[in-house]
Amino acid sequence: MGCDKKIDVTALGELLIDFTQNGISEQGNSLFEANPGGAPCNVLAMLNKAGKKTAFIGKVGNDMFGKLLKKKTIEQGIDMSGLEMDDEVRTTLAFVEKLPNGDRDFSFYRNPGADIMLTAKEVEAHRDLIENAKIFHLGTLSMTHETVEKASIRALEIAKAAGCLISFDPNLRPPLWSSEEKAKEKIRYGFSRCDILKISDNEITFMTGEEDLDKGIHKIIDEYHIPLVFATFGPDGSKAYCGGKEAYEKGFLNPNTIETTGAGDTFCASALLHVLKYGIDGLADEGHLHELLTFANAAASLVTTRKGALCVMPTVDQVREYIKESGR
C-alpha cells in the first residue's frame, strides 16, 4: 500500500476546542474544561501513539485557542505544517453537555468559525501532505459551508489522483447543517468517494431510515460498493464488512466511563491502524477482522475513562493490556 509514501495518514477538517463539563462551582455553576478536539486530529493523535506518521490540513484562528491547539497537536507528534492561522475569524468552539443517558449534546460557536474558512487554494499549497499519504481521511464537518466544501473536494481530487485510500467518517452533527437533506447529500457524496467507511448506528438510521442496522448497512454497501465498512453500536460493540465477509465483536463495558467524547474517533484510528497493517484485501480474512474489532472496541472503551480525547489517546500496549485484563 503506497510503500514509497512517507505519511501513513493525512486528515483534513475541523480542529477546535471541546469545552467539556468538569464539575460544579461553589456557586452551583457548571465548570467546563478546554480540551483540544476535532474528529480528524483525534484520529491522528491515536495513530501517532501507535507509531504512525500523520499530517493535518485545516484552519484555526490566530487567537489564544488556535495557538493552544497548534501547540497541543504538535506535542502529539502530528505534522501541523498544513495548519493555517486566520487573523480575522476565531477558532471554532464546541460546548459538550453529558446527558443522563450517557449521550452528548453539542452547542457550537462556529458561525463563522476558522475551520470553515479553509480554501481550496490553501489545500493546493499543502498538496504534498496528501500526495505523500497512504490514507486520506475526512468527515462531513468540512462540507457544511461552501468555502471549506470546495477545499474538501479539491483535497479528495488530489488524494484520488495520488492513489490514496480514502477514509470517511460522517461524524453527523445535525446542528451544523442548514437542513437534514443537505447533510444527507454530503454524506452520500462521501459514500461515493470512500474506500473505508466508519459509520455509527444513529447515522445508519439517519441515512437509510432503517431501525434494523444490519439491513441499513447492507443498503449502503449495495448501493455504493464500499470495499471496507465499520458499523459502531456504542456499548453494544461493532461490525465489519469486507470482501463479502462480516464480523462482530461485543463492546467493552467499563464502570469507570466518564464521557464518550472521542470514542468513535479512537475506534476509527484503530481501524486505520489495522488497514495499514493488513491492507483492505488482507482484512477480507475474518480472523483479521475480529482482531481489528476487538482492538478498536477496547481502545474506544478505554478513552471513555479519560477526559477529552486528543491529548489522552491510549497506546497500543495499554489497549492490549486492557483486552488481556478483560479476559478477551
Residue type, 40: P
Rounded to whole angstroms, the Cα distance separating 224 from 193 reads: 9
Cα atoms in the 13 Å half-sphere on the side-chain side of 190: 29
Residue 46: the pLDDT is 97
Residue of 222, 327, 243, 224 lying closest to 288 (CA atoms): 243
**pTM score of the predicted model:** 0.95
In a domain, 97, yes or no: no
Q: Is the pLDDT of residue 102 over 80?
A: no
Q: Which contacts (CB < 8 Å, 24+ apart) does range 160-165 have? A: 160/193, 162/130, 162/131, 162/132, 162/133, 163/2, 164/2, 164/10, 164/130, 164/131, 164/133, 164/134, 164/135, 164/136, 165/1, 165/134, 165/135, 165/136, 165/195, 165/196, 165/275, 165/280
Alpha carbons 218 and 223: distance in angstroms, whole number: 8
- Residue 19 belongs to some domain of the structure: no
Sheet containing strand 7-12, edge to edge, reads 79-86, 54-61, 7-12, 133-139, 165-169, 196-200, 228-232, 238-242, 245-249
Q: Is residue 32 part of a domain?
A: no
Q: What is the pLDDT of residues 109-129, one digit of tens each?
A: 999 999 999 999 999 999 999
Examine the pLDDT at 328 and tell me if it is beyond 90. Answer: no
Instruction: Please give the tally of structural domains in the chain.
Output: 1
pLDDT at 107: 87
Helices (H), 173-212: 180-193, 201-208
With both helix axes pointing from N to C terminus, report the angle between 263-282 and 39-49 in degrees, rounded to the nearest 10: 60
Residue 161 pLDDT > 60: yes
Within-domain flag for 282? yes
| Predicted pLDDT of residue 218 | 97
Task: Judge contact between 47 and 8, C-beta under 8 A.
Answer: yes
Residue 11 has pLDDT above 70, yes or no: yes
Does 30 fall in a domain? no
Predicted confidence band of residue 258 (pLDDT cuts 50, 70, 90): confident
Of residues 66, 34, 109, 35, the one with CA closest to residue 303: 35
The C-alpha atoms of residue 217 and residue 327 are separated, in whole angstroms, by 30
Torsional sign, CA 72, 78, 81, 85: negative
Give the CATH number, domain containing residue 292: 3.40.1190.20
Helix residue spans in the chain (DSSP H): 39-49, 64-75, 120-125, 127-131, 146-161, 180-193, 201-208, 213-224, 263-282, 286-303, 316-325
DSSP string, 92-123: PEEEEEE-TTS-EEEEEE-TT-GGGG--HHHH
Residue 252 lies in a domain: yes
pLDDT digits (tens, 9 = 90+) for 266-313: 999 999 999 999 999 999 999 999 999 999 999 999 999 998 889 999
**Is the C-alpha dihedral spanning 73, 280, 231, 239 positive or negative?**
negative
Domain presence at residue 31: no
User: Considering only 15-29, 58-72, 198-212, which range has the smallest mean pLDDT?
Assistant: 15-29
Domain of 283, in residue numbers: 7-14+38-89+112-325
Amino acid at 297: N
Report the alpha-carbon distance of residue 326 to residue 27 in Å, rounded: 41
Look at residue 23 and tell me if it is in a domain: no
